[in-house]
Structure 1
């Protein structure tokens, strides 16, 4: 995979997170609610909830906010109920795009997602039209400056069940099978290292490069507007983001 493209994407997401922390917490709250509904409120027996809690903590979500979200999801039977819906389509220049949502109104979310695809030079497709171009993997990025020994970290990750370990310029990239993600993440958490991100992601098998400035600008706007939708949790794509981004 194109490491610099992934790093550019992570930096863009971090900047958005810092600027819109309240919205990020709302989205994390929905992830917590879905995890609680599917596996119960006890993270000890609900690995999906453990993963979301770890993700929330890495985004600096306060512990009391996390606990309130779990309590609300487990005790409020008549409260909001979210379902996970995935949309697929193409951005400018044929870039493959996957949009993961958590919604309480499918019609509203579909209309909003379609609107931005149409507005920014793309088109919403049918289920399965681009997902075959991606692999679902656990992806953990660790800040290089917090690691004392690359060899020790690599051995620890591989022994815990990681599939691959890559040293990039500013971070270590650890890839896992989805079924091993929680085990690997929890093993690495015991080390005093800083996670840049740790989540299940759709990783593109190949990337698409845009050279037309108008298409590049439209692609940026498509991603930004989709990510800003309240119902959208994640946006994945195979665009090779320019390094200066």
Structure 2
């Protein structure tokens, strides 16, 4: 009984730890989407996707509603969406996307992580030829006919569709096709896991397992920062 209790407690603490890190990031994504396109999900595709992503992570409805309310309120924090660029060892290029209400704090934190973990900060725009901004959606694969789905979504801006290792469906379209592609996914009744604009590497590079392990410390530090929404690399 003692060991079983300790196991359950450890599992619960792990869930709480994950929620304490993930939920604030999801809330910021909702706030940014609401501030950019309005607080009505029916009229704002990015907000609908941010809400669906939060629900897929089991974020409570009260938390979601509170984030939208903060975005609508005049007294809410002015959260901005920004990104930082850097280069690391082995030809690895990095883009870090953040949502922050204090740009000075965030810039200092991100640059400190870069400098302490073998990465060199770059001027924004330096990696424009390495990455393209894309509309990226991940959906659950409930025994779908992916060939039919691909044909259907082409009319909504689909560029690429693939089945991931975890059996989810990754759907990629042009940057300016986010709204249309999101609508096509909704018309198919797909269960959304995540949907957002991402930086996708044009020519991904392969690294050895040892090289990846060496870089994981840097990437983990970046992802653990409270203001970081996503970390993108050109690693295959």
Q: TM-score range by the shorter chain?
A: 0.7 to 0.9
Deviation at 1:167, TM superposition (A): 4.6
Q: Distance in 2 between matches of 1:17 and 1:206?
A: 36
Alpha-carbon displacement from aligned partner over 1:17-53 (angstroms, at most 9, x marks no partner): 9961222110111122222222322122223322222
Gap runs ≥5 in structure 2:
1-13
1:163 and 2:163 matched = no
Q: Distance in 2 between matches of 1:110 and 1:79?
A: 21
| Counterparts of residues 58-69 of structure 1 (less than 5 Å) | 58-69=56-67
Judged with a 3 Å threshold, the aligned counterparts in structure 2 of structure 1 residues 112 and 172 are, in CA distance, closer, same or farther, namely same
Provide the secondary structure at the position in 2 that maps to 1:30. Answer: helix
1:45 and 2:40 matched = no
Q: Distance in 2 between matches of 1:99 and 1:64?
A: 29
Alpha-carbon displacement from aligned partner over 1:162-217 (angstroms, at most 9, x marks no partner): 1233355634332111222232223323445444433221110112233372x433
User: Would the aligned equivalents of 2:50 and 2:195 in 1 still touch at CA under 8 Å?
Assistant: no
Gap runs ≥5 in structure 1:
1-15, 241-245
Q: 2:96: which partner in 1?
A: 99
Provide the secondary structure at the position in 2 that maps to 1:80. Answer: coil
Deviation at 1:221, TM superposition (A): 1.0
Q: 1:235: which partner in 2?
A: 231
User: Would the aligned equivalents of 1:40 and 1:46 in 2 still touch at CA under 8 Å?
Assistant: yes
| Counterparts of residues 182-201 of structure 1 (less than 5 Å) | 182-201=179-198
Q: Distance in 1 between matches of 2:134 and 2:140?
A: 19
TM-score normalised over the length of structure 2 = 0.83
User: Would the aligned equivalents of 2:131 and 2:200 in 1 still touch at CA under 8 Å?
Assistant: yes
TM-score normalised over the length of structure 1 = 0.80
Judged with a 3 Å threshold, the aligned counterparts in structure 2 of structure 1 residues 33 and 143 are, in CA distance, closer, same or farther, namely closer
Q: Distance in 1 between matches of 2:182 and 2:15?
A: 22
Count of matched residue pairs: 222
Pick from 84, 96, 115: which aligns with 1:118?
115
Q: Distance in 1 between matches of 2:121 and 2:181?
A: 35
**CA RMSD across the alignment:** 2.4
Judged with a 3 Å threshold, the aligned counterparts in structure 2 of structure 1 residues 59 and 104 are, in CA distance, closer, same or farther, namely same
User: Would the aligned equivalents of 1:101 and 1:231 in 2 still touch at CA under 8 Å?
Assistant: yes
